[in-house]
Amino acid sequence: MTDPFRHHPGLRDQIRPAEESFFRNLDVDEIHRHVLATGGDPDWRTPDDLREANRRAVLEGHLDDDIWVFAYGSLMWDPAMIFAEVRRAHAPEFARTFCMWDDGGRGSPEQPGLMLGIDAGAGCDGLVFRIERERIEHETFVLFRREMIAEGYVPTWSMMSTDHGPVEALSFVADHAAENIRPGIPLDEQARMIAVAEGLLGTNFAYLDNVHAHLSALNVSDPYVDDLFARVTALRGG
């Protein structure tokens, strides 16, 4: 079997194996019960049949060969998928942005927080994972169950550049039709929100800190994340 890390052996210790990932066997029903028990919106989740129909529509025409998946956030260090190859990649059409409004997981109705997505922009560095054709069915089921558990993203095929040639990759882009996508929030306001927001999953700052630390460990540069992290840290008193 070919080593998935052959291009970037330094990534081997930075990416969690699929079998160790919480997201590998995610129990959506258990999460739903937790949401209801804590007074959350009973209609928060995407129905399983709609999510599966979307997955099959997205994959149509892409099942004759291996596929690539672009990772720009937690998928980079915790993909939860079994992959045959990983490469560093650049997505020229997109940029990271904290554009997903969160008033439950990392925020509250009184002090909402922000989560990460990608939107149209001047470029975004990340990783691409190659999923072998015979694994596409199950691995994309795992992927969509995680990324499309609720509204917020549009699965999108886009060309990416890598040091080993261009690839067409599937990525999850901010869905401007979704109520929780709020593009254009000024950077100072993003920092203010993230500095104080806290929800069921913990503080919004802890989420930003995790993103910032993992990008650094993976040697992925993102001046926007670095700037936002510095602003939030200053607001929190260092």
> Residue 235's beta-bridge partner residues?
none
**Contact yes or no for 157/60 (Cβ under 8 A):** no
Alpha carbons 146 and 134: distance in angstroms, whole number: 20
The model's pTM = 0.92
Q: Which residues contact 214 (CB under 8 A, 6 or more apart)?
A: 14, 74, 76, 77
**Contact yes or no for 210/218 (Cβ under 8 A):** no
Q: What is the number of alpha carbons within 13 Å of residue 85 lying toward its C-beta?
A: 16
The pLDDT tens digits of the residues spanning 37-79 come to 777 778 878 999 999 999 999 999 999 999 999 999 999 999 9
Look at 20-24, 43-47, 51-55, 176-180 and tell me which has the smallest mean pLDDT.
43-47
- The one catalytic residue among 19, 60, 110, 147: 147
pLDDT given for residue 31 in this prediction: 78
Which of these CATH numbers, 3.30.1280.10, 3.10.490.10, 3.30.70.260, 3.40.50.800, describes 9-183?
3.10.490.10
pLDDT given for residue 145 in this prediction: 94
> What residue spans of 8-167 are helical by DSSP H?
28-37, 48-59, 136-147
Tell me if residue 147 is catalytic.
Answer: yes
Domain ranges of the chain: 9-183
The pLDDT tens digits of the residues spanning 82-129 come to 999 999 999 999 999 999 999 888 998 899 999 999 999 999 999 999
pLDDT tier for residue 238 given thresholds of 50, 70 and 90: confident
Mean pLDDT of 128-143: 98
Closest C-alpha to 153, from 179, 131, 174, 168:
174
User: How many Å is the Cα radius of gyration of the chain?
Assistant: 18
